[in-house]
Each structure stands twice: as C-alpha cells, then as structure tokens.
C-alpha cells in the first residue's frame, strides 16, 4: 500500500523530493491533487510504500526539506 508522506506546492518541488528519496533507495510516486492539466501549479502528493514511511520522514527531516 502507498502512503502520502508530503504534499508539495508544485511539481518541481515534488520531483526534487522524489529525487532525494531515490538517492536513498526509496521509491516514490507523485500524484496531482487536482486535474493533471494544472498540476504544474497545483499541489502534488508524494507517496512511498507503507514499509518505507519512517525512513522517508527521516530523510525529509535530515534534508531540511
């Protein structure tokens, strides 16, 4: 099961966080909260597998995200 760990204000912020997580070996998915045609300006959910939530939160905190 996938769990939302962060809601980014833009697609670029979400992609940056996804890259940070990937560098630590955590797979992440991005999901727009609104219509995909406005996703660049809208909020984007960052999701990780449920088993990786704690580690992902630690990475977010450690990276001052």
User: pTM here?
Assistant: 0.87
Alpha-carbon distance 38 to 41, whole Å? 6
Q: Given this model, what pLDDT does residue 39 score?
A: 46
Do the Cβ atoms of 16 and 60 come closer than 8 Å? no
Q: Given this model, what pLDDT does residue 31 score?
A: 94
For the segment 19-61, what is each residue's pLDDT rounded down to a tens digit? 999 999 999 999 998 865 554 678 999 999 999 999 999 999 9
Residue 32: strand pairing partners: 44
Cα-based distances in Å from 8 to 2, 31, 58: 17, 10, 17
Q: Given this model, what pLDDT does residue 16 score?
A: 97
Neighbouring CB atoms inside 10 A of 47's CB total 20
Q: Which two tokens stand for residue 51?
A: 């088993």
């Amino acid at each position: 099961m996938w769990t939302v760990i962060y809601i980014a204000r833009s697609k670029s912020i979400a992609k940056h966080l996804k890259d940070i997580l990937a560098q630590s070996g955590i797979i992440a998915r991005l999901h727009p909260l609104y219509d995909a045609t406005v996703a660049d300006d809208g909020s984007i959910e960052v999701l990780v597998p449920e088993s990786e939530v704690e580690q992902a939160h630690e990475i977010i905190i450690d990276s001052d995200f």
